[in-house]
Amino acid sequence: MTPVTRSDLDALPLERKALLLSGRNFWSTEPVEEIGLPSVVLTDGPHGVRRQQADFDQVGLMDSAPATCFPPAVAVGSSWDPDIAERIGTAIGREARALGVPVVLGPGVNIKRSPLCGRNFEYYSEDPLLAGVLGAAHVRGQQSQGVGASVKHFAANNQETSRMQVSADVDERTLREIYLPAFERVVTEARPATVMCAYNKINGVYASQNRWLLTEVLRDEWGFTGAVVSDWGAVDDRVAALEAGLDLQMPGDHGAGNRLVIEAVRAGALDEAVVNRSARRVAALAELRSEPTDGFDVDAHHALARELAAGCAVLLKNEGGALPLARDARVAVVGEFARTPRYQGGGSSHVNATRVDDALSVLGSVLDGTVAFAPGFSLDGSGDAAVLREGALAVARDADVTVVFAGLAEDDESEGFDRTTLDLPAIQVELIRAVAAVSRRTVVVLSTGSVVSLEAWHDDVDAILAGFLLGQAGGGALADLLTGAVDPSGRLAETIPLRLQDTPSYLNFPGELGHVRYGEGVMVGYRHFVTADAPVRYPFGHGLSYTTVETTDLQVRSTGGDAATVSLTVTNTGGRAGRHVVQVYVATSAGPVRRPARELRAFTKLSLEPGEARKVSFQLDRRAFAYWDVREGGWIVAPGEYTVQIGRSSADIVAEAAVTLAGDAVVPELTLQSSVVEWFEHPVVGAPLLEIFLAAMPEGAAEMHAGLLRMIGSMPMRRFAADFGATIPAVELERLMAEAKAARAG
Residue 402's nearest CA partner among 472, 317, 330 is: 330
Identify the pLDDT of residue 490: 98
* Structural domains of the chain, ranges and CATH numbers in brackets: 6-288 (3.20.20.300), 302-531 (3.40.50.1700), 549-661 (2.60.40.10), 676-745 (no CATH)
Identify the pLDDT of residue 103: 98
Identify the pLDDT of residue 8: 85
Q: What DSSP string runs through 575-588? A: SS-EEEEEEEEEE-
Q: What DSSP string runs through 660-691? A: EE----------TTSBHHHHHT-TTTHHHHHH
Pairing mode of beta strands 148-154, 194-197: parallel
The CA distance from 392 to 600, in Å, is 43
pLDDT, the chain, mean: 95
Point out which residues pair with 599 in neighbouring strands: 586
Q: CB neighbours of 120 closer than 8 A, spacing ≥ 6?
A: 74, 112, 413, 449, 450, 494
Picking from 121-130, 700-709, 725-734, which range would have the lowest pLDDT averaged per residue? 700-709
Catalytic status, residue 231: yes
Residue 699 confidence (pLDDT) above 90: no
CB 132 within 8 A of CB 186: yes
Residue 73's nearest CA partner among 125, 111, 11 is: 125
Identify the pLDDT of residue 690: 83
Residue 206 confidence (pLDDT) above 90: yes
Please give the model's pTM, rounded to 2 decimal places: 0.96
pLDDT tier at 204, thresholds 50, 70, 90: very high
The CA distance from 691 to 694, in Å, is 5
Mean pLDDT calculated for residue range 155-165: 97
Residue 329 confidence (pLDDT) above 80: yes
pLDDT tier at 256, thresholds 50, 70, 90: very high
Q: Indicate if the alpha-carbon torsion angle 50, 53, 59, 60 is positive or negative.
A: negative
What counts of helices (H) and strands (E) characterise the chain?
22, 24
The CA distance from 460 to 434, in Å, is 9
Catalytic residue among 127, 231, 247, 562: 231
Cis peptide before 251 (omega within 30 of 0): yes
Q: What is the DSSP letter of 459?
A: G
The CA distance from 213 to 204, in Å, is 13
CB 347 within 8 A of CB 60: no
Q: Quote the radius of gyration of the chain (alpha carbons, Å).
A: 29
CA distances in angstroms from 38 to 72, 283, 612, listed in the order given = 32, 9, 55
Per-residue pLDDT of 413-426, as tens digits, reads 999 999 999 999 99
pLDDT tier at 692, thresholds 50, 70, 90: confident
Q: ∠ CA 345-138-73 to the nearest 5 degrees?
A: 25
Residue type for position 121? F
60-74 burial string, b = 16+ CB within 10 Å, else e? beeebbbbbbbbbbb
Point out which residues pair with 517 in neighbouring strands: 169
Residue 64 confidence (pLDDT) above 70: yes
Percent of the chain as helix, strand, coil, to the nearest 5: 35, 20, 45
CB 616 within 8 A of CB 582: yes
Q: How many residues in the chain? A: 746
Mean pLDDT calculated for residue range 730-738: 90
